Every structure is written in C-alpha cells, then in structure tokens.
Structure 1
C-alpha cells in the first residue's frame, strides 16, 4: 500500500484508558445508530483495502479469508443501506421528535458516506476499492423523487368537497397533497438536514415538476371553456397562492422554479379564454343597451325616485365591465394580458352613441327624460374610466373618453340651446356703453333670465345637475368674455379702465355666487374675470408683460389672438407697445401646445372663446 493512502486512512489515535464498550454493528443497526454503524463499515472497508494493497492475500488461505471479509462487508452494507433508505422513505410521515432524530441519523449517515466517496476521488480509479464511489447522496435524491411521485399519484380527493369536473378533481387533489407535504417538509423535515442542503427548495422542485407534468398532460387535450379557465386559474393564481402561503414562502424561492406550463402550451389556452371573455362581455353590455333602447321605443319613462328620474344602467354597465376585466386579470395573472377584452368598452360606447343620436333626433314624449338618465350614465362611465385609467391602454382610454365627451356635449346642447337663443340679445349689452354705465344691471338682467331656464334642472339627479350647471357656468363666462373682446368701447382713460375692471370683478362675484348656489362645482372659474380685469388697470408695458406671463402659466390656452383682442380695449396703449408686448409673449406659445393635451378634460377655458 502506498505511503500516501496509509497516511490518509490509517492515522492511529492516541491510546485512552477506560474506553467504554463499543456496540457491535448489529447492535448499532438495531438501535438505529446509522452514523456509528456507517463508521464501522468504513473502518472495515479501509482495513480490507489495506490488506489487498499490501498483497497479504497471496496465499490461498488468506485469499479465501479476504473474499469472506468482502462478502460479509457487502452483506452488512446492504443491511445498513436498507434501514437508512427505509427511514428516508418515511420522511413525510414524521409526527414526533423521536422520528425526527431517526431521520437526522439517516441524513448524517448519507453525508458521511458522501465524504468517504470524496476522499477516494483523490486517487486514480485503479487505486480505489472497486465499490467506490457508492453515490449514497445520489441514491438519496432519487429515492425522494420516487417518494414524491408516488405520493402525488396516491393523492385522494377530499370527499367533503363537491366538485363536478373530473379535471378539477384531479388538479385539486394533487395541489392539496403538494401543499400539505411542503408544509410537512417545512415543519418536520427541514430541521433534520444541514441548512446548506436547502432541502425545502429540493422538495419544492420535485413537487413542482410532478405537478407540472400532470398539468402538461391535461393541456395537450382540447379543453372545454370551463376546464380551460380552471387550468389557467391554477397556473396563474391558485398555485402561486400556495407558494406564497404562510410558512412556505419564507423557505422556498419560487423564482427558481420553471413555469408550470411552457409558453407554447399556455398561449392557446389564453387565446381560447380571451375569445370567450370578449364574447361574454360584449353580450352582457349589449343586453343592457338593448333593454334601454326597447324601453325608449315603447315610450317608457325612467323610474322615479324621490321625484327624480333614475336609471341603473350605469351601475349595470360598470359592474358588468369591471367583473369581466377583474376575472381576466386574475385568470391570466397580468393586467397587460387582460387589456384585450377592454376593447369591448369602445365597441359598446360606439353602439351606445348610435342609440343616443337616435334619441336626440326623436320627438317622443319620453326623449327628455331618457336623455337626462343617459347623461347620468355617461358621467358615471367617464368617472369610472378616469379613476381606473390603469386598466386601459392609452388609445382605448382616449377613444372611450372622446365618445363620452361627444355624447355629453350633445346632451348639454339639447338642454341649453333654447336658453342661449333667449339670452342672445342680452349678451350684446356686455362690453357696450350701456354696460359701462350700468354693468351690474346688465349682469342681473342676464342672470334673472337665465334663472327661469335653470329652475327646471333643480330637481334633476344631483350628478346630472352638477354636470349641466357646470357646463352652463363655463359657457356663460365664455360668452361674456367673447363679447368683451369685441371692443365695442375703447377705454382710453385710466378712470374708465379702473371702472371697467371694478365692474368685471363685481360681475364675476355675482355670476360665481349664482352658479355655485345652483349647483356648479367649477370653483376655478371665479378667477377668470378678475385676472383679466387686472390687465386693464396696468399702465406700464413691462408690467403688462409680466402679468401676461403669469396668466399664460395659469391658462396655457390663452393665445396671442385673445391677448391682442383684450389689450385693444385699452385705448391708451400705443400700437408700438402692443406690438412689442405681443412679440414678447409669442415665445410662450410652445408651452400652450405642450399643455394642450392635459387640458382636454380639465381647466381649458380660452380655447372655447372664439375671437377674430
């Protein structure tokens, strides 16, 4: 035997007195002392190998003894291995600390054998014993793999759970066994292994592969819609919930596990699901629309509640839409994948607009009441889309809001057109000499006439009334500013400019008080006229420029044309000063373009004031 091998395997320990009696191999095996028994076998293996290397067995008798020793060693090792593997095979049946200790012994014995294999790896194959390496760790992992596969195959359905689908039965019983066994690993098994072996992750990988194989078998068949949804739910929702459940999530890194189903299998299932959901959502939404159109054609009036016309169509539309979108997100696991069915809202609103236009053109006795409840529906749908913008792609959101805004404006025009016709003559007085003499009287006359029209809206649905009166508030001020910009009077003197500014502020207060009392919630409109009035009182061109910079920041849609028209009211502003001011503010026009999109559904005002 080489000196190197002797040094590694046969270093003699120092002599000790009073050494306790050593148990025999048989006694160690009976007591399940797998580590001590394993050490005894390794010692015999080392001694036997020493004999073979030294050539002591050259004589026939010694050769026979040597063969007997090797045969006995093989038999003893077989008995030892059998007991160790039986203990490992019962890993998931532990329910006591005593059984935990047995498993710890078995694990340590396996690792001890692995170390012996590694010791022999330093030598050439011809120098090693023929039975090395024994690969106990590999055998241990293979045994656990067989154990997991067997337990999953033997999984039984809970008889207390009522399930109709055979596929659902199969998936649920396998998933239940998977979760229960992983909890056992965490609770009982993990402490029996060294931390570096990461046994929880190992078991999770085995169960994951077995469960995945079962789902792949299922996915190869053509599934009905119900089973397709079930399979996607388990892949994207239920199974991740198991991995993220209490106790399991802290010891298992699910990111290291492969997908339950590969992309080429899951893509057709997702397509089947999306087609089904698109049809369901479209059918659900159009049933609501058909119901409303039928009631309108038959001359029915919307339901009265507290003397106010009401309709639940907005609630029905939003609930139907949100329920389907939420379901799609859960089943598919991602918001982005569910966005495809959101197109159905655009299709629905396009058809809703067709219905809305029919009602607008009709002369039926229920037209006004139907348009009123439709307006309430449009407002609620707009608010839903705005608050849940994350659900929609940018183009779908823009199209939907545009359709809703178009219908809202047409409803608004329907209810306010007569009012504007009657106020037309009175609007002409604004900005005239008569207004300059009695601006308060002109304003009060306008509001008094307006009030007769507004009274019919007071008992409307609060949401409709607020929307309608907010629009009227804005339109009233728009027309007021437009008439002022027509420059019917020239304010050449400072006193005239101050008087006009004072009238604008007084009128603004009266107008704002009236509309907010009636129901408008556009509080920001109160500053429009006072801000414009401030320009009239300024005399220094540089001060005017500074004030205009502030106003253009507040109102990005305040254009060069608006500024020119307003400053021309100042009869004492020279053409050269006006030109210089307009030239200075031109550079700010790019800011208006950049902010225009954000103003589309917010505080745009001057874009509605048309000036020549």
Structure 2
C-alpha cells in the first residue's frame, strides 16, 4: 500500500513537472461550450457501447469496469449536449459580438460532426447500426431555423417609423431585411461555404413573406393598400435583395415570385385605373383654372419681368411624378406608360381652349396666348426629352397636337405683324423702293419694333422660337412683294443697283432680328443669293446658279424662279423659256441633307 502511494506521488510530481494538462471531461467541455470536443466524446462512447453491445451479454461487466457507462446515461448526456447546441443555433440572429459568433461556429461544427456520424452508418442494416442512428441533427437544425424565422416574422410589429394606415406587412418586410443582414454579417461565416446558409435563410424568409402577402392579397384592398402591396412586391422587396451586402450571397433566380400573376394583375389594374383617374382630374383642374382666369380677364403674373408659366410646371410635374411613381410601384416602364396616355386627352381639350382664346377679342388675349405658347413649347420639349415614358402612338399624337397649337400661335402673332406692316410692304419692289429702299426698310423695322416689344416678357426659349418664325415670315413677305413684278429692271445697271439694295436691306433686317432674339441665322443668305441672279447676264450662268440654289433650297419652285427672273427686263422670252426648261428637266437626288430639308423657306412664299 505504501509502495502504491509512493508511485502515485511520483506520477503526480512527474505530471506536474512535465506540465501535461489533464484531458477535460465531457461535463467540462459542455460547460465551456466546447461542443465539438464534447460531441466527439459522445461519439467515442457511442462507438464503444455499440461495440460492446455487439460482443454480447458477457461484455456488460467489462463495460461497467472500463467505462461505467450505459445507453441511458449516454442518452441523457446527448440530450443535454443537443439542447445546448440547438439553443446556440436557435439564437443565431441574436449575435452581437465576435465571442458569440465563435460559439455559434462551434455549435455549427458540432451539428455537422453529428451529421457525418450519421453518414458513417449509412448503408448498414438496421440491426447492424446503433438503434439511435441516424439522429438527423442537420434535419432538426433546418426545422429549428424554419421555426425561428416563422417566430421572428410573427413577432414583427408596428413601430413609430411606420405610418398608421399601413398594415403590419411593412414591419415584416423590415424584419426580413434586418435579419438577412444579420445572416450576412454574423451568421454566414460560422457555416462552411458549401452549406450556403445565406440562400437557406433567404428561402425561408421569402417563403414566409410570400405566404403573408398572398393572405393579404386575397382580400379586396383599398387603393392605398393596393399601392402599398404592389410597391412591396415590385420595389421595396427587390431593393432588399439587391442591397449591396445581400445581393452578393443570394441567387434570386432560385426564389419563386412573391405573388402569382393572377393576384398581381387585378391589383395592377386597380392601381392604374386609380392613377389614371387622379392624373386626369389633376390635369383638367389646371385647364379649368387657366380657362377661368382667361374668361375673367386676368393677366399672367410677371416674375423678374417674365411671364410665369405655372401651368407648364403643374402639368409636367403631374405627369412626371405620377409616371415615375407608377414605374416604381409596378416595376415595369411599359405598364406605367398608361399614365401618360392622359396627356393626349388633356392636350385634346387644351386645343379647344386654345382655339377659343385665339378667336376671342378680350384685352388679355395676347398675354394669355404668349403664356400658352411658353406652356406648349415646354410640354413639347418634355415629351421629346422623355419620349421613353410615352407609348409611340401617344407621343406622336401629343407632339402633333402641340405642333398644331404652336403653329396656330405663331400664325396669330405673325398675321398681326403682317397686318400692321401691310401698307409699308406695298412699297417693297416698287419704283418708290428703288429710289428709297433704305427709308422703306427703316420704316418697316421701326414699325416692326413697336410690334415685337410686347414679347419682351416671354421667356428666352419661347421668344427665340417665336421671333425665329416671325423672322422667316417677315422675310418671306419681303421676297413675295419683290416677286409681284411691280418694277422691271431693264438694264444691267438697274439690276446691279437693285441687287446691291437687296443685300443692304437683307443685312439690316437680319441684324435686327438676330439682335432681337431670332436664331434663324441661315436666313441671311436667301436674299443675297436671289440678288446674285439679278447681277448675272449670261443665261448659262443663270442656269448654273439656279442649280446651286435649288440644291440649297429644295422648295424653290419653277413658279418662284419665273417670278423672280421676270424682274430682269432685258432677259428675252426665249432665254427665259430655255432657263425654265432646264430647271424643269434638272434631276436632283431624292436624298437631301436633313439640315437643308429643315430650311424650308420658299414653300411659304405664295406666288400667283
């Protein structure tokens, strides 16, 4: 006995000297949350128990002597171990520190270790493996997480950041996003990559959230809730999955649609019908407001000496805000285009109002038409710039309506201009003009200046376009009066003098209009080019020059050429006939430069 105690003391001193740590017991591993080591110990005991059990009844004494173990005790220890492991797994989404993250990683590895042990016994007959295998730890783990997700979604409740009219589904969406971010940030690194835990969680949340949405969608929804649900499906939820962190670890193609098409379609129809009605109401309120103000004789307000065009801001905002909202809610640009169809209906009604204003003789008519012109141009520019928001037929119809109204406005103002200048225009191309072309030009411009001063209150873009049109009409009338053949230039000297006067007048008129705001710079060469024909005396030279002019101005007709050349009194009838014949026979390419085609001028110069 003394010898035995001495050996124990010796072993103890040797143990301390070599500093060999004692192997932790199962209980110690469990208390320290070393789940993997504790699990290995359970597996070793399991293997030993099954081995002894297979050896027969005679081995039971050996079991007591060597392990002092039993199936009942193993089951109890396993139950205690499993409870702690599953508890850690169940609290996966409560992790807030790296230490807690390490504990979860330990629990995951322990669970996978158990799964491997199950796989070791695969292929064995039932009587050839322990009766408690397979334990299906991973399957239980997945069921546990599914229950966790369901519970967390059920617990999601309204909070102060959510408006009262919204239903709890918003809070569930918020919980879904928060939890998926926790999975990405804290949980994913605790699992092996092949487990694809982010996709697993995303699938669970997606399935539960989809079921919640379907339940809500089965009821008849008010307009607000319809919008909210569509927005969740088409905007908010995709935004969650496309978040910077989440989209990298989730394959969205493996997720079913949140709602089936047969549920989405009626809600989209309800939404679009409501929005169309609201947009139509808004637009016609704007029109009613403008028509009432016009009828009551109100003048447009000035801001920084420029007419305010509030209806342009209101109409464009009404269309743009609502169609952008529809795009987000529906998640589809083509479907949202139905909203912009209301613009066509509105402009059709606006055209009737515009025509009434033009026909009226009220004191505020001119000012209202100027503001309307600014409105029309802004709408045209918006539709052109945002063409993708409009169906092709709607865009075409809207632009056509706007072009007609803009043209009618221009015609109104230019007609008034020409009416005021009518008496002075009679002198153009007359013998009086030959004697005093400078004076007549000066009178024309002075009278014109008094007419266009009223456009000073127009915004720059609108004024530029209007003055450009007036510039063109003013010059066209000038050329038309010259073609009236009130004079006949019988010799070279008269023709050169007339050409020189035309060039001088042309430069003065062009300078006036461009300084006033016109951007029609290409008009400056028309009169000098026509004047050049007066200078030429050789019929062949005239033919060549005409070929050049017809290329520059495709709308220059035989009638225009004939009227202009008849100013040359020394051109014989046969020469004139030959020139006209050569012009008629000239063939030009049908494909004209688009810039040249846009420079249509002679088509508005009417000759008899």
Render the CA deviation track for 1:226-264: whole Å, top value 9, x for unaligned: 111222222233333333445444444445433322222
Against the structure 1 CA distance between its residues 607 and 238, is the aligned structure 2 distance closer, same or farther, given a 3 Å change threshold?
farther
The aligned counterpart of 1:329 is 327
Deviation at 1:390, TM superposition (A): 2.7
Distance in 2, matches of 1:88 and 1:179, equals: 20
Give 5+ residue unaligned stretches, structure 1: 1-16
Deviation at 1:346, TM superposition (A): 1.1
The aligned counterpart of 1:230 is 228
Against the structure 1 CA distance between its residues 581 and 57, is the aligned structure 2 distance closer, same or farther, given a 3 Å change threshold?
farther
Report the more deviating stretch, 339-348 or 293-302. Answer: 293-302
Residue 382 (structure 1) aligned with residue 380 (structure 2): yes
Against the structure 1 CA distance between its residues 153 and 493, is the aligned structure 2 distance closer, same or farther, given a 3 Å change threshold?
farther
Distance in 1, matches of 2:337 and 2:194, equals: 44
**Alpha-carbon contact 1:371-1:411 (below 8 Å) kept:** yes
Give 5+ residue unaligned stretches, structure 2: 1-17
**Alpha-carbon contact 1:182-1:203 (below 8 Å) kept:** yes
| Secondary structure in 1 matching 2:84 | helix
**Alpha-carbon contact 2:555-2:600 (below 8 Å) kept:** no
Against the structure 1 CA distance between its residues 459 and 142, is the aligned structure 2 distance closer, same or farther, given a 3 Å change threshold?
closer
Against the structure 1 CA distance between its residues 353 and 255, is the aligned structure 2 distance closer, same or farther, given a 3 Å change threshold?
same
The aligned counterpart of 1:140 is 141
Deviation at 1:417, TM superposition (A): 1.9
The aligned counterpart of 1:209 is 207
Residue 199 (structure 1) aligned with residue 197 (structure 2): yes
Deviation at 1:284, TM superposition (A): 1.3
Distance in 1, matches of 2:194 and 2:565, equals: 84
The aligned counterpart of 2:37 is 36
The aligned counterpart of 1:356 is 354
| Secondary structure in 1 matching 2:140 | helix
Distance in 1, matches of 2:57 and 2:365, equals: 117
**Alpha-carbon contact 2:562-2:580 (below 8 Å) kept:** no
Residue 56 (structure 1) aligned with residue 55 (structure 2): yes
Render the CA deviation track for 1:28-52: whole Å, top value 9, x for unaligned: 2232222122223333444455567
**Alpha-carbon contact 1:375-1:408 (below 8 Å) kept:** yes
Instruction: Say how many residue pairs are matched.
Output: 580
Distance in 1, matches of 2:37 and 2:229, equals: 50
**Alpha-carbon contact 2:52-2:60 (below 8 Å) kept:** no
The aligned counterpart of 2:95 is 94
Deviation at 1:108, TM superposition (A): 0.9
Against the structure 1 CA distance between its residues 535 and 267, is the aligned structure 2 distance closer, same or farther, given a 3 Å change threshold?
farther
Which of 361, 369, 372 is equivalent to 2:370? 372
TM-score when scaled to structure 1?
0.79
**Alpha-carbon contact 2:510-2:524 (below 8 Å) kept:** yes
| Secondary structure in 2 matching 1:512 | helix
Distance in 2, matches of 1:35 and 1:579, equals: 106
The aligned counterpart of 1:396 is 394
**Alpha-carbon contact 1:561-1:611 (below 8 Å) kept:** no
Distance in 1, matches of 2:430 and 2:122, equals: 107
Distance in 2, matches of 1:273 and 1:64, equals: 75
Residue 27 (structure 1) aligned with residue 28 (structure 2): yes
TM-score when scaled to structure 2?
0.80
Distance in 1, matches of 2:88 and 2:365, equals: 82
Distance in 2, matches of 1:537 and 1:24, equals: 119
Report the more deviating stretch, 57-66 or 352-361. Answer: 57-66
Against the structure 1 CA distance between its residues 486 and 397, is the aligned structure 2 distance closer, same or farther, given a 3 Å change threshold?
farther
The higher radius of gyration belongs to 2
Render the CA deviation track for 1:353-376: whole Å, top value 9, x for unaligned: 111222222333333333233223
The 5 A counterparts of 1:290-301 are 290-301=288-299
| Secondary structure in 2 matching 1:313 | helix
Render the CA deviation track for 1:318-354: whole Å, top value 9, x for unaligned: 3333332233233223332221111111111111111
Against the structure 1 CA distance between its residues 253 and 433, is the aligned structure 2 distance closer, same or farther, given a 3 Å change threshold?
farther
Against the structure 1 CA distance between its residues 367 and 446, is the aligned structure 2 distance closer, same or farther, given a 3 Å change threshold?
closer
Deviation at 1:89, TM superposition (A): 0.4
The 5 A counterparts of 1:121-140 are 121=122, 131-140=132-141
The aligned counterpart of 1:338 is 336
The 5 A counterparts of 1:567-586 are 585-586=587-588
**Alpha-carbon contact 2:29-2:37 (below 8 Å) kept:** yes
Distance in 2, matches of 1:583 and 1:310, equals: 54
Render the CA deviation track for 1:491-533: whole Å, top value 9, x for unaligned: 9999998877766654442222111222323334335455667
